[in-house]
Amino acid sequence: MNIQQECLEGEAKEPQSLRLTNSTTLWNYRLRELAKQRQFLQALTLYRHMLRSGYSPNTFTFPFVFKCCAVFLFPLMGSQLHAHVIRTGCQPDPYIRTSLISMYCKCNLVHNARKVFDEVGPWRNLTISYNALISGYTFNSKILDALVFFCRMREEGLLVDSVTMLGLVSGCTVPAHLGIGMCLHSCCVKFGLDGDSSVENCLLTMYVKCGEVEHARQLFDKMTEKNLITWNAMISGYSQNGLARHVLELYREMKSINMCPDHVTLLGVLSSCANLGAQSIGSEVEGEIEYRGFGSNPFLTNALINMYARCGNLMKARAIFDRTADKSVISWTAMIGGYGIHGHGEIALNLFDEMVKCGIRPDGTAFVSVLSACSHAGLTDEGLKYFDEMETKYGLKPGPEHYSCLVDLLGRAGRLKEAMDLINSMKVKPDGAVWGALLGACKIHKNIELAELAFERVMELEPANIGYYVLLSNLYSDAKNMEGVLKVRVMMRERKLKKEPGCSYVEYRGKVHLFLSGDTSHPQSDDMYKMLDKLESLVKEIHPSAENEGRRNEELLTGMGVHSEKLAIVFGLLNTKPGTEITVMKNLRVCVDCHIFIKLVSKIVNRRIVVRDATRFHHFSDGVCSCRDYW
């Protein structure tokens, strides 16, 4: 039986800790305490017990109970109580009406909320009722309605307070509403509410959610009173916008001023560590989690699994995963994805099947992990099977993100025509990633004609994505089509696009040895390339699925070129003693194919090789970099 039924049917038991009271006022007092501590379940139980003990709720009781109905999305209970309120004659009270409006809006019944608002009776609507309706409209994505009522409350000469602005600004968290959000920012200044930290935090969040990170940072720097929520909003904002290194910088800054992080901070930091492959910072965060007693927070556990898995420490990720009692679909997805990106397709698929056996229903994201795992391990037919099951077995409609995985899967296997047919048969509009996946496949299989078509399409959708220009340019370059290379470069220049060069470095005897991809300018270059050739042929021999999926792996390993991290590793191998760990720093994320290479080389030479993010590196922002400067 659920809580709603329990409360309606009066079968709730009074918990020991709630035993008190002999008048409605005392019951109300206790309800308020519980609501303050956000213990809504206990509040509902207490309310039920109050009724069973023969005490009638009064004007002060209802707001707390409506709040509970809003939290637990109990519209049935809410409307029954509403009827009860009308019977008891309390309805005109503005506080009750406000809590009713809020409850209906949280339960997505805006129409009912509006009816309550309009039935004013002898009272007029106060700022709090307007606030409830305004935030209710924005909660239900009706920003224009919210603005209408904002104007109306101004016409009525009512006071606009910080809660009004919070309600309005939180409705502008999509880029399409940025303009409105900026006008509201000016309103906040006009009303003298810009010094209110909750309003400023809300504005900050609005900017980051709209992708206006620099704007958010300006506001952050200007704020005189930064509380934990401010720091979290900025850290999560960087994290959500993929600015992982900014996250780590800000986290360090936060700690330097002795601001204690909470679970929300650590989530943002862990997610960035995962994106950068920054395992050592990630394990520091793990220590912090234990130290602060957040060890059982399921969000953090999932973030830790994801972080270790993405950093290549699958053993550690698996250990955390195994000891997690309540594994959600997110925990499973993180683990499956971890095996997938490191080339363990079979294990990923087994884990997926195990998840289904455990009664966890896969969602769209889980399928993205599964399909990409198939793609990276060359398990083409398995991937097609899972894609098919997505709809037939689980009733999930594939989105463009699934099609892009499938195009990648078919494309890598050389089945370019099937990939093209798949795109043409898509029920949803292909996005940039779908055409990008086809372009990537064309690069591997050197199909210029199809690549040009894919490039044309991808440019209509993502003209500012440098990666696609580089792919096409490299394809032309492989085919010795210098005219093509030039054409792409001119296009990039015209559109003012610059590629931040991927580079890696190793610290050796107090000096930094830095390498770009395909770099031949290092004094030890000859020896390094000889060693690299030898390692590449050994890697091809031992690649996990080399025997049955030989063709794909051959293409994978020969098609990937001389990445900067490969050169840095070889330099480390040539110059350091056997047994010592080789630590390579990289300014960009290590690509999946390189991860496999690093892992296998590590096995061949029996050395621990760590490739980490170069977070201290700031030399590349203008796109200029010379290796010679660092020797």
Interface with DNA in residues 181-200 (CB under 7 A): 197-198
Query: Is 166 near DNA (CB under 7 A)?
Result: yes
Contact pick of 107, 116, 163, 416 for DNA (by CB under 7 A): 163
For DNA, the closer CB: 535 or 590: 590
Give the Å distances, CA to CA, from 466 to 107, 245, 471, 498.
44, 20, 9, 7
Query: Is 615 near DNA (CB under 7 A)?
Result: no
Site string for DNA, 61-80 (x = CB under 7 A): --x---x-------------
What is the smallest separation between the CB atom of 297 and DNA, expressed in angstroms? 6
For DNA, the closer CB: 430 or 572: 430
Q: Which residue has tokens 């509009």?
A: 429
What is the smallest separation between the CB atom of 88 and DNA, expressed in angstroms? 19
Count of residues engaged in binding DNA, rule: CB under 7 A: 78
Site string for DNA, 300-319 (x = CB under 7 A): x-xx--x---x---------
Query: Is 205 near DNA (CB under 7 A)?
Result: yes
What is the smallest separation between the CB atom of 12 and DNA, expressed in angstroms? 22
Binding piece for DNA, criterion CB under 7 A, among 175-183, 224-232, 549-557, 577-585? 224-232
Backbone angle region of 576, left / alpha / beta, with phi > 0 → left and psi within -120 to 50 → alpha: beta
Select from 457, 418, 415, 422 the least CA-distant residue to 436: 457
Residue type for 570, please?
V
For DNA, the closer CB: 6 or 431: 431
For DNA, the closer CB: 194 or 401: 401
What is the smallest separation between the CB atom of 326 and DNA, expressed in angstroms? 9
Query: Is 404 near DNA (CB under 7 A)?
Result: yes
- Give the list of residues 6+ apart from residue 64 with CB closer than 8 angstroms, or none: 28, 31, 32, 34, 35, 43, 47
Query: Is 545 near DNA (CB under 7 A)?
Result: no
Binding piece for DNA, criterion CB under 7 A, among 14-22, 244-252, 395-403, 414-422? 395-403
What is the smallest separation between the CB atom of 205 and DNA, expressed in angstroms? 4
Residue type for 297, please?
N
Q: Which residue stretches of 89-196 are H helix?
A: 94-106, 110-118, 127-139, 143-155, 162-169, 178-190
Contact pick of 4, 45, 331, 473 for DNA (by CB under 7 A): 331
Query: Is 348 near DNA (CB under 7 A)?
Result: no
Binding piece for DNA, criterion CB under 7 A, among 140-148, 187-195, 333-341, 343-351? 333-341
Q: How far apart are CA 423 and CA 403, in angstroms?
A: 8
Scan residues 242-301 and list those touching DNA (CB under 7 A): 262-265, 267-268, 271, 274, 297-300
Query: Is 370 near DNA (CB under 7 A)?
Result: no
For DNA, the closer CB: 302 or 513: 302
Can you give the C-alpha Rg of the chain in angstroms? Answer: 29
Q: How far apart are CA 236 and CA 549, in angstroms?
A: 41
For DNA, the closer CB: 441 or 528: 441
Query: Is 202 near DNA (CB under 7 A)?
Result: yes
| DSSP at 516 | E
For DNA, the closer CB: 167 or 572: 167
What is the smallest separation between the CB atom of 230 and DNA, expressed in angstroms? 8
Contact pick of 99, 112, 279, 587 for DNA (by CB under 7 A): 99
Sign of CA dihedral 67, 70, 71, 75: positive
Give the Å distances, CA to CA, from 328 to 26, 156, 301, 324.
40, 50, 11, 9
Q: Are 228 and 221 in contact (CB under 8 A)?
A: no
What is the smallest separation between the CB atom of 490 and DNA, expressed in angstroms? 23
For DNA, the closer CB: 161 or 284: 161
| DSSP at 580 | S
Scan residues 430-449 and list those touching DNA (CB under 7 A): 432-433, 436-437, 439-440
| DSSP at 355 | H
What is the smallest separation between the CB atom of 64 and DNA, expressed in angstroms? 8
Query: Is 334 near DNA (CB under 7 A)?
Result: yes
Backbone angle region of 119, left / alpha / beta, with phi > 0 → left and psi within -120 to 50 → alpha: beta
For DNA, the closer CB: 157 or 579: 157
- Give the list of residues 6+ apart from residue 407 with CB closer than 8 angstroms, or none: 419, 422, 423, 434, 437, 438, 441
Binding piece for DNA, criterion CB under 7 A, among 117-125, 228-236, 244-252, 510-518? 228-236
- Give the list of residues 6+ apart from residue 345 with CB closer than 8 angstroms, or none: 339, 373, 374, 376, 377, 378, 379, 382, 545
Give the angle subtended at the CA of 368 by the CAs of 362 and 371, to the nearest 5°: 100
Contact pick of 172, 349, 405, 611 for DNA (by CB under 7 A): 405
| Residue 576, helix vs strand vs coil | coil
Query: Is 351 near DNA (CB under 7 A)?
Result: no
State the DSSP H helix or E strand holding residue 573, giving kind and residue range, or none if neither: helix 564-575
Q: How far apart are CA 225 and CA 197, in angstroms?
A: 7
What's the token pair of residue 64? 């707390």
Scan residues 100-139 and list those touching DNA (CB under 7 A): 102, 127-128, 131-132, 135
Q: How far apart are CA 12 and CA 228, in angstroms?
A: 37
What is the smallest separation between the CB atom of 153 and DNA, expressed in angstroms? 11
